[in-house]
Amino acid sequence: MAEDPVNVNEYQELARQALPKMYYDFYAGGAEDQYTLKENVEAFRRIMFRPRVLIDVSKISLSTTILGYNVSAPIMIAPTSMHKLAHPEGEVATARAAAACNVIMIVSYSSMCTVEEVASSCDAIRFFQIYVYKRRDITAQLVRRAERSGYKAIVLTVDVPRLGKREADIKNKMIQPQLKNFEGLLPTQVVSDEGSNFKAYADLTLDASLSWKDIGWLRSITKLPILIKGVLTHEDAIKAVEAGAAGIVVSNHGARQLDHTPATISVLEEVVHAVKGKVPVFVDGGVRRGTDIFKALALGAQAVLIGRPVVYGLAAKGETGVRRVTEMLKDELELTMALSGCPTIKDITRGHVITDRERLQSSL
């Protein structure tokens, strides 16, 4: 592709060309038959707009707040693993791009740069994503390090009691690299006869007994607000609020865990209605256009998380690629708002979109 990309999707092909097949498959792949991986994207396409006209859109503002922090747009960089496999500067490059765009980066526990290295790379609002480990002292230590380094929230991923079956990683014999955040805390070598050692590593370290009562333990060791990531039902949304979550991320783990879970955008409203405005709701999975962001906001999300497109931008063009991906999405969202008659984020309402289910019901 000789020309510069004109949309986020084109960065995926550049990343495929730039990366070794093993690493590209690691980032791009989903669980088992990858039904949910495709559905995350396709479900957005089944939502249509109901634009309003003759509204003054000479000035458009994308700015909003997330947990009280002012940001340039309702976009966060999702926690994705091991950015140095995509680019030598790794998460530091991603963090600098996020800072330049004034959006929040959620740094993954499996960052190949340390908590402290990312924090010192630039001045910006950032959150830190964690799991709860069998050894709770490891989780506690990571949380304390994030707090000392100025991270503003903890994002607890709750949908990995066991690792999903990611067949491309098994075929490619993808091996978990040693992560600097865990030096001296976790084993550096985990042997497996399954090709990839990711499952064996997860089985050894992650706590499959984690339950709702453990949220209280996590709250007891930090003053930071806790977002719970991995909720797909109204039942769990209610439990998250009761457990003291400061926010919920509607997520199916980028379709990398349980295949044939619903697309996140299709269950977003269920979660939004369940929490009744008590906490903010965010959503990730399948966002590839500014139009997707608008649709998510119309269905009740306060912001979206962007995962794979950020990694593709990083692989293709480093920090500049991450900035371009983010700015493309912001530019497309601004255009969508103008064409829909919404000068500000607060002007985006449920009435601006219609779902496929609503269209079907109206035709009966």
The CATH number given to whatever domain includes residue 344 is 3.20.20.70
Residue 3 in domain:
no
Instruction: Write a three-state SS string for 120-163.
Output: HHCCCCEEEEECCECCHHHHHHHHHHHHHCCCCCEEEECCCCCC
Instruction: Verify whether residue 273 is a known catalytic residue.
Output: no
Residue 82 in domain:
yes
Residue 1 in domain:
no
- Among residues 253, 260, 273, 352, which one is catalytic? 253
pTM for this one? Answer: 0.95
What pLDDT was estimated at residue 42? Answer: 98
What pLDDT was estimated at residue 2? Answer: 53
Residue 37 in domain:
yes
Q: Which residue ranges of the chain lie beneath pLDDT 50?
A: 1
- H helices of the chain, in order, are 9-18, 21-28, 35-45, 90-101, 115-121, 136-148, 167-172, 198-205, 213-220, 234-242, 264-275, 290-298, 308-340, 356-363
* Structural domain containing residue 291: 8-362
Residue 211 in domain:
yes
Pairing of strands 69-71, 64-66: antiparallel
- Total number of domains in the chain: 1
Output the six-digit token pair for 128.
């830190």
Residue 234 in domain:
yes
Residue 319 in domain:
yes
Q: Hey, which residues does 79 pair with through a beta bridge?
A: none
Quick one: 1 exposed, middle or buried, by C-beta within 10 A (0-12, 13-18, 19+)? exposed
Q: What is the DSSP letter of 5?
A: P
Local structure of 304: helix, strand or coil: strand
